[in-house]
Structure 1
């Protein structure tokens, strides 16, 4: 039987597994989480008593349905689920994973990558201080453990996640001092038209959440710096839309500018990439069904940043493409393709409404830390250009931008922005950092305990 491997058990991975199992296949699903659901529908550990409505809000019914679907597939033996497992390399039809401290190898004939997305971060002077997190990290702590990562919080950045996490924290009782959105209201209004035309109810729900933030929310903010002492942040200095200097006292800061697709495994699997001016990042190329190469299928936010609903559809479509390529019966994708087109229009509106702060990044002072993993400053990156030239991988080699444990996930885009600004090149001309295994940090001890049977 053809061996199908799915990486990721979020909405896309779950729907892909469900579709393949319905056709009589038994796919393997590798996921870093202990329980399926992904980031958006992340489940707390067993024994936690917070009800789904508290965790997922208006999406509680969808979350519970997805959890039940996947748990049923596992219970009935229709899929093989490998939880708490990380794929760190792909080569020659073999996935190299680490699970419970041991390296394993899984051979596959067809691969569906549903790797999701992570926070898209921009450097802010002082962001290297302890107590500065991503919005996603703040949300994970709240969903998984029911805690806020600080006593008085400032959230800053732009995009729907900023509003959502702020609302979730406030509803849970956290003390949120300010929610600072770098997107001006004019951009939000312009992009909001496209959003409303494509998905009016979702847009309305977002506006309601925004309204509930009340005095906490400040659009068109400019972030100046995060002040900190040995214990972490003490304040965030910023300017409002009118240019007035403001200070928000805090002991924790969360940052995030929408999302960036998680594409390292797609790169190792041989997918082709193109620069997307809409989403302001490099994205893998695939057809409407998710085909990205021979036996390679991409689904969810790792391909298109369409959110949880779009990920479910994309997961089904990728599985249907896989079945059709195997000459097996599969359902008609027409309805899903039409729904996906509508969600793409909505996502483009989101990208327009909440733009990446390119000017803020290009104008960063030289002493600002650009790469938190390696402690590389903006001045370090600029000084490397004399020898490296305007090419991302050469700047990485000489200045170590993107060479740390995050593998450029946090600093790659900002680094490219600095290079483009200094050299007068476009971001497309600067290029992207090539993915290299391991795509996640792996302890040396895992290789010493490698499973000899795999």
Structure 2
């Protein structure tokens, strides 16, 4: 299997809202970017598209965001049809080195580029719950993907738990599709939601009102300020969620599927591999890449969307345009004025920070998890195993990984490293910012060994300008 060598002046990784708007801005300036995306069709997670021929209308898939989804999809498809961008779907960027992106789809490709825009989005931010390693326990994002791409509810009687806007949005979407949602369990206390909600309403009143309407529509199945005790399971998967309400009363809700999620975690894997630096962000309670106001994170490197800051789909569109403008500036090409976009982004950030206050990450609850709770689902590492590693590793994430295997599995720490850091922090009496973050390394996604045992690239395609 010989790899193909492509030449591109600007490479964009990701075809969600940020990547689409970045490509649109660059094409408008006369450039011809190459856009690589893991999905079969552009749109990203929030505007993920079903297969061709799927008959469920956009209003059912995207609700109040249907018009925005249509606009993004239409803009991108038109650019591809007109030959103004090159779209490479179904491919993952696995490694970056010396201006070359190593890309894997059905075949291996190498894309040489002068500038790189990373619009990699975000993944679910997960907190372990005793029993969550069982089959039939999914992330909220996975449940939403199944609903959007195939019209499938992953259970007959569903419990959703965690916090953040996706929790109530997914519950509403499942109900609209005819699924039975038995309970929506929000770990965020009502007082925090009210405090943060004021800031959200001041920054984006219509969006806040829309979210409140979704919440009201859930009625009595929604519960705030809960404590999740455990997921009861048998050989077939979940049978019940055991939880306590805000008053401390214990409940057991029967179910055959559980969805978990605590808002989002920026996917900074490629940014790390590309050489970006990271800082601990107290508002978002996670490590985020460092960039200037326009998304510059290094020489020829630009970041946009939720992979830089968790600002939602509207913020991602703005960030994609801004990153493209920075790229055009650095190339010495005519570009739009960024100031109006930066003002809008500032408002998006105020909203996002208020949201983080309203729906906090349950750090204290994670630090108190029982020793027999599985932390790393890939490797089967339990909280007690991690705590017992600390006398040898010390309170440093990468040493704990090397000695205790947390983060060494298929997901490379995407789902366990934040929770693992909380356990290390609680056990050592220090903040998670001092525990550090797991260093990313290629390949950014699991890849077959055979993909790299091919001949050197022999085919050179025309340079896209």
TM-score higher than 0.5 here?
Answer: yes
Matched, 1:30 2:36: yes
- C-alpha displacement at 1:266, in angstroms? 0.2
Matched, 1:393 2:408: no
CA contact (8 A) 1:104 1:451 kept: no
- C-alpha displacement at 1:91, in angstroms? 1.1
- C-alpha displacement at 1:260, in angstroms? 0.2
Matched, 1:3 2:9: yes
Partner residue, 1:75: 81
CA contact (8 A) 1:104 1:450 kept: no
2: CA distance between counterparts of 1:344 and 1:384? 38
2: CA distance between counterparts of 1:426 and 1:342? 29
SS at match of 1:130: coil
Partner residue, 1:200: 205
SS at match of 1:126: coil
2: CA distance between counterparts of 1:304 and 1:193? 21
Within 5 Å, which residues of 2 pair with 1:240-259? 240-259=245-264
Within 5 Å, which residues of 2 pair with 1:349-428? 349-428=354-433
- C-alpha displacement at 1:445, in angstroms? 2.9
Within 5 Å, which residues of 2 pair with 1:4-403? 4-100=10-106, 102-403=107-408
- C-alpha displacement at 1:2, in angstroms? 6.5
1: CA distance between counterparts of 2:267 and 2:25? 23
Partner residue, 2:4: none
CA contact (8 A) 1:110 1:296 kept: yes
SS at match of 2:252: strand
CA distance 1:250–1:335, shift in 2 (3 Å): same
Q: List per-residue Cα deviations over 1:125-157 (Å, max 9, x = no partner).
A: 000000000000000000000000011100000
1: CA distance between counterparts of 2:455 and 2:209? 51
Q: List per-residue Cα deviations over 1:217-264 (Å, max 9, x = no partner).
A: 000010000010010000010000000000010001000000000000
CA contact (8 A) 1:103 1:450 kept: no
Aligned residue pairs, count: 453
2: CA distance between counterparts of 1:432 and 1:336? 31
SS at match of 1:189: helix
- C-alpha displacement at 1:439, in angstroms? 1.3
Q: List per-residue Cα deviations over 1:320-369 (Å, max 9, x = no partner).
A: 00000110000101111110000100000100000000111000000000
CA distance 1:40–1:215, shift in 2 (3 Å): same
1: CA distance between counterparts of 2:69 and 2:443? 31
Q: Which range moves more in the overlay, 201-210 or 85-94? A: 85-94
1: CA distance between counterparts of 2:51 and 2:201? 36
1: CA distance between counterparts of 2:30 and 2:205? 38
CA distance 1:14–1:450, shift in 2 (3 Å): farther
SS at match of 1:108: strand
Unaligned runs of 5+ in 2: 1-6, 460-465
CA contact (8 A) 1:103 1:451 kept: no
| Alignment RMSD | 1.0
- C-alpha displacement at 1:421, in angstroms? 0.4
Partner residue, 2:463: none
CA distance 1:451–1:162, shift in 2 (3 Å): farther
Q: List per-residue Cα deviations over 1:16-75 (Å, max 9, x = no partner).
A: 000000111000000000000000000000010111111000100000010000000000
2: CA distance between counterparts of 1:447 and 1:150? 39
CA distance 1:2–1:385, shift in 2 (3 Å): same
1: CA distance between counterparts of 2:150 and 2:8? 39
- C-alpha displacement at 1:450, in angstroms? 6.0
Q: List per-residue Cα deviations over 1:277-314 (Å, max 9, x = no partner).
A: 10000000111110111100000000010000000000
- C-alpha displacement at 1:425, in angstroms? 1.4
